[in-house]
Amino acid sequence: MKTPLSKSQEALRGRRIQDMTDAQLREWINACDVMKHWRRTPNKARRGWTASRAEAIAELDKRVERARGRTSGAA
């Protein structure tokens, strides 16, 4: 079954979210959006994409907060 994901998005499949860079996380969030709205995605898989998107957003937010704490603490 052909998916609508780009090659770089396909390469991220199976990787741990914690191991992705910030740019890869943004690309993964986009991939989750694409797959969530793809017509051929079954409901169970759609829920998985939604959960993975939420996990990626939480990880990105955590990194931003950590970076913000480093910059405000240094001043």
Give me the numbers of helices (H) and strands (E) for the chain, helices first please: 3, 0
- The mean pLDDT value for 31-47 works out to 94
What per-residue confidence (pLDDT) applies to 73?
Answer: 63
- The mean pLDDT value for 14-31 works out to 97
Mind listing the pLDDT tens digit for each residue in 43-73? 999 999 999 999 999 999 999 999 998 887 6
Report the alpha-carbon distance of residue 54 to residue 29 in Å, rounded: 8
What per-residue confidence (pLDDT) applies to 2?
Answer: 83
Handedness of CA 3, 6, 7, 13 (dihedral sign): negative
2 or 75, higher pLDDT:
2
Helix (H, G, I), strand (E, B) or coil at 75: coil
**Is the model's pLDDT at 74 over the cut of 80?**
no
Domain boundaries, the chain: 21-74
Phi and psi angles of residue 13, each rounded to the nearest 5 degrees, phi first: -65, 135
